Structure 1
């Protein structure tokens, strides 16, 4: 990823929320219904990525929308089967990549809740 993309930070983020969001609610927020926000979860934390068309239905990162994509982000994978919350068995290098993505999202997107019952925090 280019340095300019990684350094882009939102300056008007709202205070983080910890509202419980069920897996079903998350799955319905995949960018296909314009009446719902587009959400991506990482390590059980839910981010609102609605303003970024890359997560929309025709975007490069749509595979992550409506899911906890922790494993896929750690593995730098766009495979749908990797878009799942389990990441604790990843090698340390991939855990580090996941942490970098979590920090990137935290600086760029509003945190709108936590996945209800998440055990991958």
Structure 2
């Protein structure tokens, strides 16, 4: 009786060891695959951050050049063409400083490329949320070189 119990116990131990070892090997294989895939997916930046005038920024609308740049509070992000490219849902923001539009949650060009510092506190809060979202998802490629009348441009619109 003791011999049978000892044989079944050692069999169970061996089986359990085999299962645990197999699971550990599979887990390590998954980690290695994920690590290798991450190495392959690391984007190489083709843009050295620099200043862009509003005219230069306008060329990056996803149509004239195959990139969608969006400026928020003077910082320019290289955004996804899936969302900001031609015929995409947020295309109206591409190729311009869309700070006022995003802060006010308005689509259109009436308030594009206009000073954002005169926005109301509620609109500024919304703008900061957009900026946080863009900064977490997209690469910074530069900053806006504002024209001399940039700050006066907001006098024509409502805060």
Give the TM bin, normalised by the shorter chain: 0.7 to 0.9
1:3-57 CA-to-partner distances (Å, cap 9, x unmatched) read xxxxxxxxx6779964111211100111103x442100001100001x3412111
Change (3 A) 1:109 1:85: farther
Larger Rg: 2
| TM-score, reference length from structure 2 | 0.60
SS of the equivalent of 2:134 reads helix
In structure 2, the partner of 1:30 is: 61
- 4+ runs of 1 displaced by more than 6 Å? 13-16
CA contact (8 A) 1:72 1:84 kept: no
In structure 2, the partner of 1:6 is: none
**Uncovered stretches (5+) of structure 1, i.e. residues with no partner:** 1-11
CA contact (8 A) 2:98 2:112 kept: yes
Structure with the larger helix share: 2
| TM-score, reference length from structure 1 | 0.77
- Output the aligned Cα RMSD: 2.5
Q: Does structure 1 residue 48 correspond to structure 2 residue 48? A: no
Distance 2:143 2:113 in 1: 15
In structure 2, the partner of 1:7 is: none
In structure 2, the partner of 1:4 is: none
SS of the equivalent of 1:88 reads coil
Change (3 A) 1:100 1:13: farther
Say which of 126, 140, 158 aligns to 1:97.
Answer: 126
Change (3 A) 1:89 1:59: same
Instruction: Give the number of the structure with larger relative contact order, counting CA–CA contacts within 8 Å between residues 6 or more apart.
Output: 1
Deviation at 1:85? Answer: 3.3
In structure 2, the partner of 1:61 is: 90
